[in-house]
Amino acid sequence: MEATTPAREAARTASRGRNPRGQGERLRAEIIDATLRLLDELGDDQALSLRAVAREVGIAATSVYMHFADRDALVLAALEHCHAGLLRTGDDAESGAADPVAALRARATLLSAWSREHPGLYKVLHESTLNRRTDMSFKGEMANRTTAAIRRCMDLRTAVHGAVSLRVNQPELPWPPLEEQVDRFLVKLVGVPPAQG
Amino acid sequence: MEATTPAREAARTASRGRNPRGQGERLRAEIIDATLRLLDELGDDQALSLRAVAREVGIAATSVYMHFADRDALVLAALEHCHAGLLRTGDDAESGAADPVAALRARATLLSAWSREHPGLYKVLHESTLNRRTDMSFKGEMANRTTAAIRRCMDLRTAVHGAVSLRVNQPELPWPPLEEQVDRFLVKLVGVPPAQG
DNA sequence: TGTACATCAGTGAACGCGCGTTCACTGATGTAC
DNA sequence: TGTACATCAGTGAACGCGCGTTCACTGATGTAC
């Protein structure tokens, strides 16, 4: 019947004194964190209660209303926060990749790993009935990023095919060096920073 | 705010007098039907209340307990009933098909159509947190049927390949007629009734 | 330097609600004698 | 054929619970004069 982990118990009993003046927004962040933790455990937004969130943070239920208009606003804000974090780490993973295929792989790998670590949140984000009941249009941005990552691969592939095909079929024409042209494709189509020199 | 459809309203107001002696089990079926209707609308088992089911049927909440031990038993019985129906119609669809590939296609087509007609039930059956919280092992039977349908395709393909390959590579041996051998494969591997004569 | 006041970060009691479940009951219908 | 009794198919009132939300409040900290 141990409903709380030691870590959570510690988080609750420690530190939760009133925030200093001007730092009231800190509680907002704590509430969102707790909400996401609970949603990940429950895997279902309907099962989450505002009072459970308050208990998790160690505050009075009424204090939640200082930062969120009602339960729905809280859940939506938490999911939007979670989603924004995913976008950010996705972009970070992509930016470290050498080429658009590696970037696409990095993005996909990151999302897979995240969904395995947070199956409950994944369910709430993509399978909960919240998707029917409320406007979660912010989620569109994730699809946009993925589509863009794929399009960069497609465009590069298409352009490189053009460069190669023309050289194969009309070798007598005065083509610029292939490597340089592909480099320009990479810079302009894919957004890779230009090679120095 | 019209929460009830005309059809449902009619179903509720009409007919719901006490069942005649010995026909008490009829109510059980009505309760299960209503439960499945509501689950299909809600798309979430946690959102379903026993009292809502009773309202839908037009009986006192307490009457549900005549047939089900508690709310969980009701939900589980309803889902098991739904699942059993799916198995049955899947088998029916398959049995009308000429060969194992057509059978597999018939089964897949039927399940797709059903999930489009009943997205809420599909969600409850496969994505609700009930799957974590309770034993839904009856669902394994669906996987078994599908696996069997696929295996019949695979086995037939493998056996036919053997028959053809041996004839191609050792044409000098006294092979039985290919059609007859394939027919035996159909009868014995796939379960097709033997051709008459 | 002192003091009245405003602001900020929260709290505790209370509300009405729908829920799952229990309990004692009702009234029609069959059955034994 | 009459009657006492058992069984069956349900019902209505009541319980305690956790919930979302409202309301009036508290007490520490900064600020104007």
Maximum C-alpha span of chain B: 80
Cβ of B21 under 8 Å from any chain A Cβ? no
Q: Tell me the shortest Cα–Cα distance from A129 to chain B, in angstroms.
A: 7
pTM of the model: 0.83
Q: What is the pLDDT of residue B14?
A: 46
DSSP collapsed to 3 states, chain B: CCCCCHHHHHHHHCCCCCCCCCCCHHHHHHHHHHHHHHHHHHCCHHHCCHHHHHHHHCCCHHHHHHCCCCHHHHHHHHHHHHHHHHHHHHHHHHHCCCCHHHHHHHHHHHHHHHHHHCHHHHHHHHHCCHHHHCCCHHHHHHHHHHHHHHHHHHHHHHHHHHHHHHHHHCCCCCCCCHHHHHHHHHHHHHCCCCCCC
Q: Is the CB of B161 under 7 A from strand D?
A: no
Contact status, residue A8 vs residue A56, Cβ threshold 8 Å? yes
CA pair distance B197, B194, nearest whole angstrom = 9
- Best probe of the A interface among B42, B45, B115, B129, by most A CBs < 10 A, is B129
Query: Do B157 and B114 touch, CB atoms closer than 8 A?
Result: no
pLDDT at residue B93 in the model: 94
Tokens of A121: 């949140």
User: Which among B90, B85, B68, B74 has a CA at the least distance from the CA of B34?
Assistant: B74
Tell me the per-residue pLDDT of A98-125, one tens digit each, with 9 for 90 and over: 888 899 989 989 998 999 999 999 999 9
In the predicted model, residues of chain A with pLDDT beneath 70 are 1-15, 196-197
- Residue B196: per-residue pLDDT: 67
What is the predicted pLDDT for the residue at B100?
84
Measured in angstroms, the CA of B55 and the nearest CA of chain A are apart by 21
C1' (C4) to CA (A54) span, angstroms: 36
A50-73 per-residue burial string, b: 16 or more CB within 10 A, e: under 16: beebbbbbbbeeeebeebbeebee
pLDDT for A12: 43
The pLDDT value given to residue B7: 42
Structure-block tokens of residue A8? 């959570």
pLDDT tens sequence across B158-190: 899 989 888 888 888 999 999 999 998 888 887
Asked whether residue B142 carries a pLDDT value surpassing 50, the answer given is yes
A–B: how many Cβ contacts below 8 A? Answer: 23
* More confident site: B30 or A2: B30
Q: Residue B40: which of A15, A99, A129, A190 has the closest Cα? A: A129
Q: Which residue in A117, A190, A114, A193 sits closest to A149, CA to CA?
A: A190
> With a 7 Å cutoff on the CB, does B144 touch strand D?
no
pLDDT at B72: 96
Contact B127 A132 (CB under 8 A): no
Q: Does B122 touch chain A (CB under 8 A)?
A: no
The CA distance from B136 to the nearest CA of chain A, in Å, is: 17
Q: At what angle do helices B100-117 and B119-127 cross, to 10 degrees?
A: 100
* Chain D nucleotides reached by a protein CB under 7 Å: 8-14, 18-24, 29-30
pLDDT at B197: 52
Length of chain B: 197
Q: Which nucleotide is nearest to B22 (CA to C1')?
A: D8
Distance B62 CA to C1 C1' (A): 74
Could you give the CA distance from residue A52 to residue A59 in angstroms, rounded to a whole number?
A: 10
Give residue-wise pLDDT tens across range B46-101: 999 999 999 999 999 999 999 999 999 999 999 999 999 999 999 999 999 988 88
Which of B46, B123, B127 lies closest to A47 in CB terms? Answer: B46
Q: A90: closest CA among A101, A73, A104?
A: A104
Q: Does A43 touch chain B (CB under 8 A)?
A: yes
Report CB contact under 8 Å: A129, B47. Answer: yes
